[in-house]
């Protein structure tokens, strides 16, 4: 299958303009699955929770409905980062969309830095979404720091982890090679680029969107600046073969009974 990443520079608060740009970019390349950055429709550096609340939308909502229509026109699916309003809660979410509508929503579990002042942490366990012969897991940005996130998705049967991101730290792209290798899955990080400056704060996003294969190989990687469309052809069957050697398996060789800290003997 063809997986495409859109590395882009959304304009803070300009939802309609960002959506128009996304719709145009989706026409550039046929793909079975598109992955877009975190908060791709709104930008990232909100002044406070009140500003976030003004820009957040329900899912389904105007932005996801517009993108579902685009999926139907192009015969594709996509994962897009959205500021979601759900009742009184505000989530940093990713919506999995297809021609048939919203297929799933993931709400970011591990919030980064000042996100904790605006967003509510995602309350739900990680899950895998099916469709089109692909078992899809989703993480968002700072989830990369926690090996449990990718491992949970691998144990649930994910073939590919879609990873919308707004990365500012320099470590993630290298760490995702390990996440792919230790779990035997494809990992596709769609990062944004550009600089956001406001309210006395400045963030520069690191780009280098990438797709990593189940053996830790980098299939495609973008630059650190500028819009790009990156495409990788993947064989999902490779993610279902977990053997390392004739006698070792990434998941079956786990020893959960040895991982508990409760009865551990601690050094004196």
Q: What residues are annotated to the active site?
A: 38, 108, 141
Please give the Cα distance from 44 to 30 (Å, whole number).
28
- Distance from chain centroid for Cα 36: 8
Maximum CA extent, the chain: 65
161, containing H or E segment: strand 160-165
Query: Quick one: 74 exposed, middle or buried, by C-beta within 10 A (0-12, 13-18, 19+)?
Result: middle
For residue 48, which of 243, 249, 201 has the smallest C-alpha distance?
201
For 152, phi then psi, to 5°, come to -60, -45
Please give the Cα distance from 209 to 228 (Å, whole number).
9
């Amino acid at each position: 299958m063809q997986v495409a990443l859109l590395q882009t520079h959304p304009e803070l608060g300009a939802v309609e303009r960002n959506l128009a740009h996304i719709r145009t970019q989706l026409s550039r390349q046929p793909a079975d699955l598109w992955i877009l950055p975190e908060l791709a429709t709104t930008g990232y550096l909100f002044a406070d929770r009140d500003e976030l609340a003004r820009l957040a939308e329900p899912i389904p909502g105007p932005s996801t409905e517009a993108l579902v229509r685009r999926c139907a026109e192009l015969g594709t699916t996509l994962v897009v980062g959205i500021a979601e309003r759900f009742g009184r809660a505000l989530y940093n979410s990713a919506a999995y969309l297809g021609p048939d509508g919203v297929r799933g929503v993931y709400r970011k579990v591990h919030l980064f830095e000042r996100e904790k002042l605006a967003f509510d942490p995602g309350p739900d366990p990680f899950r895998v979404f099916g469709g089109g012969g692909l078992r899809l897991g989703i993480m968002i940005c700072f989830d990369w720091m926690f090996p449990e996130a990718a491992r949970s998705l691998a144990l649930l049967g994910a073939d590919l982890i879609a990873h919308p991101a707004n990365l500012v730290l320099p470590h993630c792209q290298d760490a995702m090679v390990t996440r792919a290798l230790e779990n035997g899955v494809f990992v596709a990080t769609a990062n944004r680029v550009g600089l956001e400056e406001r309210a006395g704060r400045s963030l520069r996003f690191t780009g280098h969107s990438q797709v990593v294969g189940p053996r830790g190989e980098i299939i495609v990687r973008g630059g650190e600046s500028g819009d790009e469309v990156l495409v990788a052809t993947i064989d999902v069957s490779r993610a279902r073969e977990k053997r390392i050697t004739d006698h070792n398996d990434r998941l079956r060789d786990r020893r959960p009974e040895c991982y508990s800290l409760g009865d551990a003997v601690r050094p004196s």
